[in-house]
């Protein structure tokens, strides 16, 4: 219902962005809150879209080392409490980044909506809000690694554009809330006079059109910016055309029969495209091989710097290694097996000469991730390497191009640094790695694990012979036995597929005569030392999940 309007201080505020400031008494804005409030929120959202999309587009013309959205996301990650990160990885797995962007989008939408409402009520506060938003974006851009002060320009321009958009939209919105005077003195036709008070100075339709156009233009600008950035990136092309040298020591031949005979078990060799990806990098770092350099320093006799050419010229080795993520839950799929090509880290360390007392190497990526790896693990005969090749290709960008670490037997968070640029020989007592600072362990040997892949949990299977199968791993110790238990029956040995090496996973299968009804399937592995996988349940934090996988199937 319309209430009588009085000039309020807020009406004064309204006129700031409004040419009609000589007639403050004629404003009606704000007496009906629900409608204009929602529309003001909409204006705020459109203005925020302008800020980000314009910055994204302008950024594409610069080198776009850290575009605002990516930089904001990274800052978001940095400020996300570790329990929430753990939760995201546990819940969304390799979709954790999508989840992050959705979470970020919801937060930005909410803040932008509030900003619109604030701007509508008090323009000066709205300006302050937009400037604050701009300051946050600029700060997160310039605090990213490898970014220069000039990289702030796109965000500054975006903020200015967003401010203008907000001003236009809020001004229009205020005008939808004003009515011209009925002007009764001029002897207007009573019919017209009756209409006039209800005709706003600006129609809602015009406001919606302007908001819609703003949003659409933002979408076009953002898409254009993304496409332009992608086209300007030549790192992907350079990676595609990189010729890998032949290894001086090729991988041992993979024996026949490594694949489980149970249909539906994952391929023994994981294709690059299917390899799980876990990292804190929102935008995959793009490194030119010409610019890549690895610094080996710390407790060493001489500091060493390696170029990519040095790696190409070195005696390279090749081996199959299964990587596993510490965040992998029992039965989870954050593990993969690939053929890696690289230089033994042992040889690199030899060049630098580690000093007595050193017991750890802190490896750091170009984007600031770090891992602490025991020095002796990098020197023993497990052939930890600085990898440049994965399954016969250069490393995919998201798996660490041009150089990453691959260390058999350790979870990725303490060993598998992608986009690695720095090795500091140090002591566990002196340095803490990225995840160790966030409550995870400083060391991470991989725990023995048997995974059931077929049938799937809660599957319905026909009675009769059912093939159960899966993959087990205990890198550096090897798998010597997998056993299956149906319901509370005896533990029965599964058929092991051929073993390639003790640093690769090993598959298995088990023929089951299934009788109708619900059944529970459990599996456990025994490693090369004779130790049976523990049934002690443990969460991934701090050093990896444990326990026997148990799943229910219905036999019909």
Q: Which residues touch 76 (CB under 8 Å, ≥6 apart)? A: 100, 103, 104, 107
Burial (0-12, 13-18, 19+ Cβ within 10 Å), 238:
middle
Could you please report the per-residue DSSP string of 339-376?
Answer: EEEEEEHHHHHHHH-BPTT--EEEEEETTS-EEEEEHH
Residue 555: what are its φ and ψ, rounded to 5°?
-100, 130
C-alpha 100/C-alpha 85 separation (Å) is 9
Contact, 417 vs 363, CB < 8 A?
A: yes
Q: Does 468 bind ligand MTE (CB under 6 A)?
A: no
Q: Does 480 bind ligand MTE (CB under 6 A)?
A: no
Q: Does 435 bind Mo ion (CB under 5 A)?
A: no
- Report in angstroms the alpha-carbon separations of 33 from 36, 167, 210, 434: 6, 19, 21, 48
The interface region with ligand MTE, picked from 189-197, 204-212, 276-284, 441-449 by CB under 6 A, is 276-284
Contact, 337 vs 269, CB < 8 A?
A: yes
Q: Does 30 bind Mo ion (CB under 5 A)?
A: no
Q: How long, in residues, is the chain?
A: 556
Q: Does 547 bind Mo ion (CB under 5 A)?
A: no
- Report in angstroms the alpha-carbon separations of 509 from 401, 448, 512: 36, 17, 10
Query: Which of 56, 543 has the CB closer to Mo ion?
Result: 543
Of ligand MTE, Mo ion, none, which one sits near residue 281, judging by CB under 5 to 8 A according to partner kind? Answer: ligand MTE
* Residue that the structure tokens 């592995």 belong to: 525
Query: Which of 29, 409 has the CB closer to ligand MTE?
Result: 409
The interface region with ligand MTE, picked from 136-144, 251-259, 361-369, 449-457 by CB under 6 A, is 361-369
Distance of CA 293 to the CA centre of its chain: 25
The interface region with Mo ion, picked from 59-67, 294-302, 324-332, 368-376 by CB under 5 A, is 324-332
Minimum Å gap between C-beta 556 and ligand MTE is: 38
Minimum Å gap between C-beta 545 and Mo ion is: 12
Residue whose C-beta lies closest to ligand MTE: 412
C-alpha 473/C-alpha 480 separation (Å) is 10
Q: Does 278 bind ligand MTE (CB under 6 A)?
A: yes
Q: Does 412 bind Mo ion (CB under 5 A)?
A: yes
Complete edge-to-edge strand list for the sheet that includes strand 479-486: 460-461, 549-555, 517-527, 479-486, 492-493
Q: Does 441 bind ligand MTE (CB under 6 A)?
A: no
Q: Does 276 bind Mo ion (CB under 5 A)?
A: no
Please work out, in degrees rounded to the nearest 5, the angle formed at the alpha carbon of residue 130 by the alpha carbons of 126 and 132. 110
Of Mo ion, ligand MTE, none, which one sits near residue 417, judging by CB under 5 to 8 A according to partner kind? Answer: ligand MTE
User: For ligand MTE, which residue of 28, 399, 451, 506 counts as binding (CB under 6 A)?
Assistant: 399
User: Bridge-partner residues for 360, per DSSP?
Assistant: 374, 426
C-alpha 123/C-alpha 226 separation (Å) is 32
Pattern 51-80, binding to Mo ion, x per CB under 5 A? ------------------------------
Query: Which of 335, 525 has the CB closer to ligand MTE?
Result: 335
User: For ligand MTE, which residue of 369, 401, 505, 510 counts as binding (CB under 6 A)?
Assistant: 369
User: For Mo ion, which residue of 284, 325, 352, 386 counts as binding (CB under 5 A)?
Assistant: 325
User: For ligand MTE, which residue of 202, 280, 379, 550 counts as binding (CB under 6 A)?
Assistant: 280
C-alpha 332/C-alpha 189 separation (Å) is 77
Pattern 307-346, binding to ligand MTE, x per CB under 6 A? ----------------x-x----------x----------
**Total Cβ atoms within 10 A of residue 467:** 17
Q: Does 384 bind ligand MTE (CB under 6 A)?
A: no
The interface region with ligand MTE, picked from 12-20, 234-242, 409-417, 447-455 by CB under 6 A, is 409-417
Query: Which of 214, 324 has the CB closer to ligand MTE?
Result: 324
Query: Which of 154, 412 has the CB closer to ligand MTE?
Result: 412
Of ligand MTE, Mo ion, none, which one sits near residue 451, judging by CB under 5 to 8 A according to partner kind? Answer: none
Q: Which residues touch 90 (CB under 8 Å, ≥6 apart)? A: 327, 329, 540
Q: Does 446 bind Mo ion (CB under 5 A)?
A: no
Distance of CA 107 to the CA centre of its chain: 17
Could you please report the per-residue DSSP string of 212-223?
Answer: HHHHHHHHHHHH
Q: Does 104 bind ligand MTE (CB under 6 A)?
A: no
The interface region with Mo ion, picked from 119-127, 207-215, 276-284, 459-467 by CB under 5 A, is 276-284
Number of residues located near Mo ion, criterion CB under 5 A: 4
Tokens describing residue 33: 């809150």
Minimum Å gap between C-beta 522 and ligand MTE is: 26
Query: Which of 369, 548 has the CB closer to ligand MTE?
Result: 369
Q: Does 416 bind ligand MTE (CB under 6 A)?
A: yes
Query: Which of 176, 370 has the CB closer to ligand MTE?
Result: 370
Query: Which of 323, 452 has the CB closer to ligand MTE?
Result: 323
The interface region with ligand MTE, picked from 13-21, 137-145, 278-286, 288-296 by CB under 6 A, is 278-286
Q: Which residues touch 35 (CB under 8 Å, ≥6 apart)? A: none
User: For Mo ion, which residue of 42, 278, 317, 360 counts as binding (CB under 5 A)?
Assistant: 278
Q: Which residues touch 427 (CB under 8 Å, ≥6 apart)? A: 299, 357, 358, 359, 360
Minimum Å gap between C-beta 279 and Mo ion is: 8
Q: Which residues touch 208 (CB under 8 Å, ≥6 apart)? A: none
Q: Which residues touch 153 (CB under 8 Å, ≥6 apart)? A: 58, 62
Number of residues located near ligand MTE, criterion CB under 6 A: 20
C-alpha 302/C-alpha 169 separation (Å) is 63
Contact, 445 vs 395, CB < 8 A?
A: no
Q: Does 292 bind ligand MTE (CB under 6 A)?
A: no
Binding site for ligand MTE (CB under 6 A): 275-281, 323, 325, 336, 365, 367, 369, 399, 412-413, 416-419
């Amino acid at each position: 219902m319309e209430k009588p309007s009085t000039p309020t201080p807020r009406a004064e505020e309204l006129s700031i962005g409004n040419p009609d400031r000589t007639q403050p008494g004629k404003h009606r804005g704000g007496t009906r809150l629900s409608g204009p409030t929602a529309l003001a929120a909409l204006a705020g959202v459109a203005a925020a879209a302008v800020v980000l999309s314009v910055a994204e587009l302008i950024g594409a013309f610069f080198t776009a080392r850290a575009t605002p959205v990516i930089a904001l996301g990274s800052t978001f990650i940095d400020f996300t409490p570790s329990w929430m990160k753990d939760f995201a990885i546990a819940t969304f797995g390799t979709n954790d980044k999508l989840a992050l962007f959705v979470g970020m989008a919801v937060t930005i939408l909410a803040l932008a909506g509030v900003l619109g409402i604030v701007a509508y009520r008090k323009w000066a506060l709205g300006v302050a809000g937009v400037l604050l938003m701009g300051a946050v974006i600029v700060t997160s851009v310039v605090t990213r690694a490898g970014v220069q002060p000039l990289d702030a320009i796109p965000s500054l321009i975006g903020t200015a554009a967003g401010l203008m958009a907000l001003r236009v939209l809020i001004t229009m919105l205020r005008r939808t809330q004003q009515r011209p005077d009925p002007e009764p003195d001029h002897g207007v036709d009573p019919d017209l006079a009756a209409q006039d008070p209800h005709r706003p100075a600006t129609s809602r339709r015009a406001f919606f059109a302007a908001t819609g156009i703003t949003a659409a233009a933002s979408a076009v600008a953002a898409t254009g910016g993304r496409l332009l950035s992608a086209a300007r990136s030549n790192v992907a092309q350079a990676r595609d055309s990189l010729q890998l040298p032949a290894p001086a020591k090729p991988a041992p031949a993979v024996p026949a029969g490594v694949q489980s005979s149970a249909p539906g078990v994952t391929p023994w060799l994981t294709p690059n495209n299917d390899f799980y990806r876990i990292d804190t990098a929102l935008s995959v770092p793009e490194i030119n091989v010409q610019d890549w350099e690895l610094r080996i320093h710390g407790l060493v006799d001489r500091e060493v710097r390696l170029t990519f050419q040095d790696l190409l010229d070195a005696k390279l080795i090749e081996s199959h290694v299964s990587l596993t993520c510490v965040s992998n839950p029992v039965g989870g799929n954050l593990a993969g097996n690939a053929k890696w090509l690289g230089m033994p880290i042992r040889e690199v360390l030899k060049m630098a000469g580690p000093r007595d007392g050193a017991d750890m190497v802190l490896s750091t990526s170009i984007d600031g991730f770090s891992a602490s790896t025991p020095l002796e693990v990098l020197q023993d005969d497990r052939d930890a390497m600085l990898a440049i090749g994965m399954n016969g290709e250069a490393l995919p960008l998201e798996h660490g191009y041009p150089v990453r670490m691959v260390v058999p037997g350790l979870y990725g968070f303490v060993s598998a640094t992608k986009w690695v640029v720095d090795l500091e020989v140090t002591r566990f007592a002196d340095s803490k790695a990225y995840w160790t600072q966030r409550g995870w362990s400083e060391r991470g040997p991989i725990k023995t694990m048997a995974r059931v892949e077929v049938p799937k949990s809660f599957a319905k299977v026909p009675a009769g012979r059912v093939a159960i199968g899966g993959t087990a791993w205990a890198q550096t110790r090897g798998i010597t036995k997998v056993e299956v238990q149906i319901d509370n029956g005896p533990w029965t040995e599964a058929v092991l597929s051929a073993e390639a090496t003790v640093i690769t996973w090993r598959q298995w299968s088990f023929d089951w005569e299934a009788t109708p009804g619900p059944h529970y399937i459990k599996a456990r592995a025994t490693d090369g030392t004779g130790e049976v996988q523990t049934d002690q349940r443990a969460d991934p934090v701090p050093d990896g999940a444990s326990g026997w996988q148990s799943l229910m199937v219905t036999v019909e």
